[in-house]
Amino acid sequence: MIKKFLIRVSIFSIPVILYFVVGEVLLYKYKEDVPVSTVVKKQLSSKKEIYFSRSFFNTPDVRLKTEMMKIKKPDIITLGISVVLQYRDFYFHPYENRFYNGGFMVKNIYDFNSYINMMQKKMVHKPKLIIFGFDPSWIKKDYLNDNKNNVTDPDKDEVLNLNNHVNAIQEILHQFIDGDLNNKPSCLKQAYGMAGMNGTGYRRDGSMHNWNQIENYIKSHHYSDLYNYKEHLKRNTFIYNKPMQVDAKKVAMLLQNFALIKKMRINLIVYCPPLANDFYNYAITNKGFQDIFLPYLSIQHMLIQKGYHVIPFCTPKQLGLTDDYMLDGIHAGEVLASKLFYDYMISNNIKFENLPNLDLSYLKKIRDKKPLCPLAFDTN
């Protein structure tokens, strides 16, 4: 009886065990199952570029960035959402090792408020320069990322939860059976996560390598709003959810934090990112967008009048360029982002006493070379 029972159990259990074993092997192959704490150690110790972004588990941006900030204690940081992710360490030569891109570490005004307050209380490292990406989302009422305070309550690393492994295995096996995994091109770069292996992910300096969008441009040779931001605005979906209104309390909180940064004697550059001509030409006809964007421009003007360092809003066309320099409707590629930074610093003769050796001629030499394409200097 016992023997028959064991045989029956084996018949039913072996396929289940095999299912999970094959799934875990695939997750291991694409380094999806590596905890973020290990990724931090690997990125810090490596002399070669390592990308990090997962496809089957979450990519815990806040945990990655806060841990890096804690260990590196950088003197130059970016804060903001995705619009600042094209700022790279070589923009700030010879301070490359003292730079870290904190894009997506603070995802809403409440995160920003918490982090600046922690800085004031010396709970986190105080940098010498902050580049803050100020786009209209910071003052929008009921913004998509307002659901929680990510600084005080960061997302957990899903790799450490068994239930998440079950879901990830189901997803990766589904793609494996459909043949999608085999069709993924590899950049042959050292990376963690399947997206990272395909060239899209966080670099060691915290910036983002958007190989999917770069590769798309190299193949087509023309601009593409790959993530359909214009369509989202038309339909009031994603980050353009209703109500399309300015939140006066958010505006006040933002200005208070800028003032606090000044009070702490931290240099601040407010970066107002560009929009693609294609996106902007539609957006200015959209009433909801106008209701937020016009006050946004007024705040930009007010900051300039008050003596803040502000890289002002523009479109590629206003610079004599095309949308080829935009990753999508609302994100500049690194070639354009570096141009806006370099031109602003040079034309306004900006210098920082506590960063006396900042050498923009180094960035100029890189910019003067022919880039890989309008979106990227090279494949890295």
Per-residue model confidence as pLDDT tens digits over 185-236: 555 568 999 999 999 999 999 999 999 999 999 999 999 999 999 999 999 9
- Spatial contact of 202 and 64, defined as CB atoms under 8 Å apart: yes
Q: Which of 328, 344, 329 is nearest to 271 (CA)?
A: 344
Report the pLDDT value the prediction gives residue 189, as an integer from 0 to 100. Answer: 63
Task: Report the C-alpha gap between 65 and 71 in whole angstroms.
Answer: 10
Give the rounded percent of residues in the chain with a pLDDT score beyond 90.
89
Banded pLDDT at 51 (limits 50, 70, 90): very high
Domains of the chain, each with CATH number or no CATH: 61-155+222-368 (3.40.50)
Ramachandran angles phi, psi of 87, nearest 5°: -75, 125
Per-residue model confidence as pLDDT tens digits over 94-150: 999 999 999 999 999 999 999 999 999 999 999 999 999 999 999 999 999 998 899
What are the b/e assignments for 255-286, b being 16+ CB within 10 Å?
A: eebbeebeeeebbbbbbbbbbbbbbbebbeeb
Tokens of 362: 């180094």
CB within 8 A of 121, min separation 6: which ones? none
Tokens of 60: 């815990």
